[in-house]
Structure 1
């Protein structure tokens, strides 16, 4: 709560002056009780702008690595994630992922707002990618609504690979809450989870205006890296090596 108050009183006004964020559909965020805010993920700093727009604290689950890096940069990063009300999450799979889901469930059952990026990671190409089903599993298990949200322009503020943000105006659009109470007791049914997740992703796509790709963002990132390395290797192999006369 201390970090949330610090953000609202000190950091929030500064960021509003710099980035002049605009908001639509704020009335769709519940005034009390647990709920999930599910948004697209374009930039490292996305988790700043949703909490600025919402008058209630929003808790995010972030990679555990962000909290354990050594050195000055690690301490600064840890402070940033604490300031933005983020909790460490184990993405290694197995029991680690189960513990992370339990942490998210605890947040929701305490009556708080939980922020989730269903894509699982930042979009590698600006498109909206296939959602992971954790968002549906949490919503159904906790019996809470999902508020779809779209971040607009944050990729221009801090593109992937850039450390220093640019001053650009950004926006946050909230859609009507999605009710999955019809799936009560079916939080382990993979067909139900996929259907509910696709419903969430469709609403995010509609709000954001992004092109949709039915591939996971992580898989697409791997494909892009492989393609880039292959192209670079081919370019090196095809580079001029000089004429026979040059080599004599």
Structure 2
């Protein structure tokens, strides 16, 4: 199968890239190893900067379209009482953030890309690049089931442990920290909160009277009766 461009990985970055290319008249193939809906560990929070990118893609980000809006970030830590930082009102950005489960967000963006003319292929687990022996350049990819997709441009959007990038000799920079996180969903009346909440201090006992733990915590309201609760940290060792 030939295209003008191949995008490997239908996460937000891959689907956005594919959609922008298709809107400019290119024939784009978007390959995703899983089938939708599929989940990713994430806080599900979108800042106004991210919302702006959805608007640029032509996505309807209204609450009527099913998006949970937020007005501020609530900070816990540094003093006893939490305080709120409203999303700024700037000419270049919307004045609201959003919360959306990754299982929903990724499918919405992939389907939006397909609506722009992108050929979305799910269940396509890219296993190796196809290399032109004359130029030593990538000219396509091969999937685990033997299919070959060809294009003069291939974009690797298959995540932090990108198999395609590794096969092309591109490895993670060891001088950059690795982010790790865990999260779960809990039913809570805080689901209808209009703020993202973040804990910048984590203690193993009473605050300011016990050991300060590394990392941070969050609780993001989903608007569906649940809250995304997680812990994250950067490993720079």
Q: What is the TM-score normalised by the length of structure 2?
A: 0.29
Q: Of Structure 1 and Structure 2, which has the larger fraction of its residues in helix?
A: 1
Q: Of Structure 1 and Structure 2, which has the larger fraction of its residues in strand?
A: 2
Q: What is the TM-score normalised by the length of structure 1?
A: 0.28
